[in-house]
Amino acid sequence: MCPPMTHPERTLHQFPFSHYCEKTRWNLDAKGLPFALENLIPGSHRFVTKRLTKGRGSVPVLVDRGVVVADSSEIVLHLERTYPLMPTLVPASGPERERCLELEAYFDDMAGKHVRRWMYSHLFDGGADVASFMFNAYPAPQRWVGRALTPVIKALIRRQYRLVPDKVEESRVKLLEGLERLERELDGDSSRYLVGTALSIADITAASLYSPLVAPEGSPYAPRPGEALPPAIAEWRAAVRARPAGQWMLRLYQEDRWRVASGQGARPEMVAG
């Protein structure tokens, strides 16, 4: 476990494997804001997040210079208000702002819970190493705890996301509907952005929330050597990557997600336990 930083300006309380947390990590990176990470264990995370937020149990939670902000969409608005001179990810006013926020809300709803339900169902039923998927990015002590708790976590997820055949099929249909909307918005052109001519939170939301299914290089879900995927996930991945929407996500990760490699944006300062 890494030693804690001394008074970091901002800390993101998160799950490394959460696509909503990936959305917020990308949001912070694109704004050029350095941050520390505090990785939480699913289930027990509620003791931390409820204490920080005075009642809310979900991640991500950002503590920004003493201000606590929960929910990835609320974090977006907080960062735009607080750091207006950093790269702008939401237009300040007018139709482009409305379009940007409408698309963010749409993909939050369309991809968020449906990616979770579809992905968890096929991971659980396909014999995947779920503990590795969830906890590979944690420091060793937390990784051991996570592995020990995986059967309990799986039971909680099955109940929370209603992993039953009709609901999983509903999520598959919703995910395809979202991909079709994305391709209409892009007019089939994988080189475009959703709003205007630059990266916005609409792009970040769509790409990050679909990323567990598409597994772009540079995402937490990129294939690892020797990893065995359930056939349903492997087939989905190949089919979506071949579509204009999938090509757009792969390009966005390659060209925009990791521009920090050339000195633009910020990488997390540390991974804490």
Q: 222-263 pLDDT, tens per residue? A: 988 888 899 999 999 999 999 999 999 999 999 999 765 444
Structural domains for the chain: 10-90+262-272 (3.40.30.10), 94-128+167-259 (1.20.1050)
Report phi then psi at 265, rounded to 5: 85, -165
CA separation (Å) from 130 to 58, 85, 103, 149?
20, 41, 31, 11
Q: What is the pLDDT of residue 13?
A: 97
Q: What is the pLDDT of residue 259?
A: 65
Tell whether the torsion through CA atoms of 88, 93, 99 and 102 is positive or negative. positive
Report the C-alpha gap between 68 and 263 in whole angstroms. 28
Report the C-alpha gap between 203 and 11 in whole angstroms. 24
| Residue 113 per-residue DSSP state | H
Return the closest-CA partner of residue 221 out of 202, 191, 245, 241: 241
Q: What is the pLDDT of residue 173?
A: 98
Residues of the chain with pLDDT under 70: 1-7, 259-273
